[in-house]
Chains A and B, each alone.
Chain A
Amino acid sequence: MTTNLRRIFRAALLLSVLTTSGAHAVCDQSAASTADQDLWNTHGCWQAFFLWEYRAYDERGGDWSGRGWNDACNSRLEYPKHWNASYLVTYGLLDNLAQSWHGTVDYRAAGEARSSSFHNSLYHTVVDDNGIFGSFSPQVFGPDRLATSCPLYDPGVSNANPASRGGDYMHEGWHAWLHKYGWNNGNVGGHRPGPQGNCTFSACDYFYFHGVGAYAFGAMYQTDGTANRFHSPNQAQVEYLCDISDQPKAWVPASVRLAAAADANTRASQRFINGPGYSCGDPRPW
């Protein structure tokens, strides 16, 4: 019986990737994940927000056509899923000075399009690709390009939830920070080669540990040029995910908080050369 269950599990796990195998298959528009839908149900189709969001994240009709650009209330499509994640970034954090890693002001600046101390102007686009979460490409002319891809939108994949999607905005946004200030974070797509140290993958970061309260809200972009005050892309991502898990507004649904903690902890244990640092979320099952 166990063998049969294993077969079923394995087949189900691979369902989404096999049915759309190939790096450039289209994203799954058949459903929103439970975490996406749970968050969506707290706000519904808030017209004023998504009309703000497409400007705040500089999304263009040509990129998002057929993905909810003209159907922004259809939570199965990529653009509504994108603004659902932006909603979580914008409103979902408690901003607890005593317990949060960073504040909403930091995460918004890292993810949004506008030029700031965090990065130069960028725009958000979407790419049909099952092989990557997202990417950041500096441009010679015009705003830099932040692309998100199918694993952040396909409900069967672990990162297709609003917390992980927003976490990717932080990750790619931090590549933009490194670019703006000219830091070298490695030559493997902006990361260091792996596996090495505690990193088990081929693209790794250091975790530049800091205590809670080390950065005033709004000061996440600051660095003194040493490991004492610096961030890497995976670190910015994990800190955002842990803040969603541990310091969310009361209305953030359990499915979103659980997904945030799961993503943060698996990422923390496998992506950092110098080790996992800390875990977040409650080790109790519920």
Chain B
Amino acid sequence: MCRGHARATLSALLLPLILGACTQKTTSGPGENPDPSQYGVAKLSIIGGSTDDVASIRFDIFAGTQLTETRTVALQPKQPLPDGGAGMSGADAFIVLRPGTYRAVATPLQANGTSSAVCASAESTATVSLGATTDVVLVMICSDQGTGAIDVTGILTHQPVLTNLILQPSKYTTTCERVSMQAVARTVDPGPLLYSWSVVSAPVPAGAYALRASGATSAFVSTAPGAFTLRVEVRNLAGVSAALTFPIYVSVGSSTQCLTDTDQDGVPDLVDNCPTVPNPGQEDSVGDGIGDACRGTTVVGSPGSVQPAGPNPSSFLTEKAPPALTGTGAGAKTSALEFLAWASASTVNQREPARSIIASASNNDDIARALADAAAEAIGRDHSRALVAISILGEMRNQVAVDFLRKVIAISPPTEGPVYEGENLAETSLVQLQAKAVDGLGYLRNAGTNEELLRLVQGHPARGVRAEAIRSFLFNFSESADGGTQEARALLLKNVRQDELIFIDRPNHLPGESSRTFNAKLAAYFQLHPELVAPNPEPGHGASSDAGTIFDGVPPEF
């Protein structure tokens, strides 16, 4: 029943269809990681006038005789025609396909899923190229009228992949009628996607029009008729982008005066995501088209009461496989630095694999030297890098590594630099590194290092290091000699300072330890040391008396 494409005379369904390309598969499900650069995007549309018994449209895509994709879309009523005709209904589908030539068939369906009794199927052939999108508009005929038309536009996509573009009510609109747009994109890389929207071309002469964009959503309105070309670009954190250009056809509507801007924020009401509260940035942290400024009164004047957008990107983090920790000379240095970077960023689940790799390098002095050099270089410049490097050196149980740890532990505390509440900040940085070095020293678990730990317990100048030496001694001594905790305590009691006895008894809150286990340890600790119970807090003179006080601040010099 499809006979030609005399669009002006039809009383039909016009079905826009966009076809895109992919070389691997048409869709990917959870857990699949196809190469996004192999994808394109496709869009099919169908519009028409007399819908009769049609409730939905089924788009079937055939490669040769093989059905590759089926999509059923509800019919949207009254989509205006590009040339100004009105009263047309239609439907859109956005489909990802492999490159090739396809036959697209649009079949009108009744509400019960059977084919329409009065509207016929329409079909068209379209060639889809890698990374390109083809826009196909089909006109489907009802009764004995009508024609068909194919409207093809090229649209590029790259990694990341734009998988859908939703236009409400459609790309056919009238003056002063708002078109809401939402881009849907996918990426295999972690991290957020950034969207930008623009008007590429407008009719000449163009009337006033407005485009408001906020993340993946945007809105467009024009006061004058004509064909506009818009563009949405999606970019990942690496700067790789995909773009889609698409038309919006504006025909004459009932009004041409509609760019009122009530809140005078530069965004006309029709496209403003919060028309009554000035928000020139159009922030929309939830991404639902409603501006944050309008999300109740909790946002403006009450900061922090809106939940941050989620899910957070880190939850999609793909763990990197650990590099080897091998080699000699320059190769060892390269390997050590790569491993250091990996280990630093490694996840909780990668702790044991990291330990295994470090243990496998325990006989490699070149690796130990390279890590020691990296640690030395980072001290004072990048504290957390130094901390990670010293942790790895401690885990190595290597003589070169331990020699380096001893040197770190032996550094005298700095006497210069800012002091805050009696705390020399440079000294605290050093103490943290020395405490971690002590963990490594103790982890050798031999008689010599046990003796060294006891000497540190007795005589290291920093309390934090002495405390860690006690912890390390208890942890490693009891590990090395089963049931040796009491013996370890006895040895410590001979060496510990009187005012630091509590470090011997204090419990360690271990990762993964149950509350019952830890709370029992804490209760036992308080039985041993009732002096640790704090006195009851004291009421002050009321909050108003604090005005003018700077807590933790250094009073200005007089």
Contact = CB atoms under 8 A, between A and B. Distances in A.
Contact of A90 (B308, B349, B382, B554): B308
Given A23-B554, A52-B306, A225 B537 contact: yes
Contact of A57 (B304, B378, B472): B304
A216 B292 CA distance: 31
B110 to A, nearest CB: 42
A138 B549 contact: yes
A208 interface: yes
B252 interface: no
A184 B540 contact: yes
A79 interface: no
A114 B233 CA distance: 36
A46 B313 contact: yes
A254 B421 CA distance: 29
Residue in A55, A172, A208, A280 whose Cβ sees the most chain B Cβ within 10 Å: A55
Given A33-B384, A35-B384, A255-B387, A285 B346 contact: no
A40 to B, nearest CB: 10
A208 B417 CA distance: 32
A227 B533 contact: yes
B543 A179 contact: yes
A207 B531 CA distance: 12
B537 A230 contact: yes
Given A44-B191, A183-B537, A262 B380 contact: no
Contact of A253 (B299, B345, B425): B345
A160 interface: yes
B382 A227 contact: no
A283 B552 contact: no
Interface stretch (B34-42, B50-58, B270-278, B508-516): B508-516
Contacts of A188: 421
A58 B351 CA distance: 37
A136 B550 CA distance: 6
A29 to B, nearest CB: 14
A135 B552 CA distance: 5
Nearest to A247: B511
Nearest to A5: B407
A42 B237 CA distance: 11
Interface stretch (B71-79, B166-174, B462-470): B462-470
A171 B553 CA distance: 13
B358 A131 contact: no
B508 A283 contact: yes
Interface residues of B, number: 130
A51 B148 CA distance: 48
B344 A254 contact: yes
Interface string A47-80: 1110111011110000000000000000000000
Interface in B481-535: 499, 502-503, 506-515, 518-519, 521-523, 525-526, 529, 531-535
Interface residues of A, number: 139
B345 A41 contact: yes
A255 B354 CA distance: 13
B516 to A, nearest CB: 8
A217 interface: no
Contacts of A44: 190-192, 237, 313
B515 A200 contact: no
A254 B345 contact: yes
B303 A226 contact: no
B358 to A, nearest CB: 6
A252 B348 contact: yes
Interface in A202-261: 202-203, 206-209, 211-213, 223, 225-227, 230, 233, 242, 245-259
Contacts of B536: 225-227
Nearest to B311: A91
Contact of A213 (B292, B519, B542): B519
Contacts of B526: 209
B430 interface: yes
Interface in A1-25: 2, 5-6, 8-18, 21, 23
B423 interface: yes
A130 interface: yes
A45 interface: yes
Contact of A8 (B376, B529, B542): B376
A276 B467 contact: yes
B290 interface: no
Contacts of B428: 158-159, 266
Interface stretch (B2-10, B204-212, B431-439): B431-439
A213 to B, nearest CB: 5
Contact of B515 (A98, A172, A181, A255): A98
Interface string B291-328: 01000000100111110110011110100000000000
B247 to A, nearest CB: 28
B543 A263 contact: no
5 A-B pairs with the lowest CB-CB distances in the bound complex, closest first: A285-B394, A12-B380, A190-B551, A202-B422, A44-B191
Given A114-B303, A184-B541, 18 more contacts: A14-B380, A33-B385, A36-B384, A55-B292, A55-B303, A56-B304, A58-B303, A155-B382, A189-B553, A190-B549, A190-B551, A207-B534, A223-B537, A254-B344, A254-B388, A265-B467, A277-B506, A285-B439
Interface of B: 190-192, 194, 215, 237, 283, 285, 287, 292, 299, 302-306, 308-309, 312-315, 317, 343-351, 354-355, 358, 376, 378-385, 387-388, 390-395, 407-408, 410-412, 414, 416-423, 425-426, 428-432, 435-436, 439-440, 442-443, 463-464, 467-468, 471-472, 475-476, 499, 502-503, 506-515, 518-519, 521-523, 525-526, 529, 531-543, 546-554
